[in-house]
Amino acid sequence: MNSDMEKALKLCRGSYQRDIILGHANVSGSDLAGKAREYGARYKNSRNALFTRLENAKINFCVDTSNKKHTLVFGEREVFLAKHGRTLREKHPEIYTGLVNATKTGKKYKAVRALAELALET
């Protein structure tokens, strides 16, 4: 677990916010069911309050929309991949693959990220 996620967990107020941080609940709230679905606006307010606390604490995070389950990602590498992965996958698949591998392993990450940033500029 990375340090940004650990900091984020300390800012949670309740199990729903903790589930969002850990990826057990969709950020969009689309997985709310039963009685919880009726209180969707309150869950949305809870998510927004959590995001505000994360931003105020200067925690590096974003919503990863690359899959059907919108989840939060933490850390500089994962955030960069989440923000730019779709564009790289479509326009520069070989760089995207390298970035995914470098993000996971950490090997040659700076070099691959520099290539990705150049590719995004063109």
Same domain? For 10 and 21 the reply is: yes
Same domain? For 68 and 30 the reply is: yes
Same domain? For 83 and 107 the reply is: yes
Tally of domains within the chain:
2
Same domain? For 29 and 43 the reply is: yes
pLDDT above 70 covers what percent of the chain? 99
Same domain? For 83 and 66 the reply is: no
DSSP string, 10-72: HT--SHHHHHHHHTSS-TT-TT--THHHHTHHHHHHHHHHHHHHHHHTT--EEEE-SSSS-EE
Same domain? For 14 and 69 the reply is: yes
Same domain? For 30 and 63 the reply is: yes
Same domain? For 100 and 115 the reply is: yes
Picking from 80, 40, 41, the residue whose alpha carbon sits closest to that of residue 60 is 80
Q: What is the pLDDT of residues 14-71, one digit of tens each?
A: 999 999 999 999 999 999 999 999 999 999 999 999 999 999 999 999 999 887 788 8
pTM attached to this predicted model:
0.80
Range of the domain at 57: 3-74
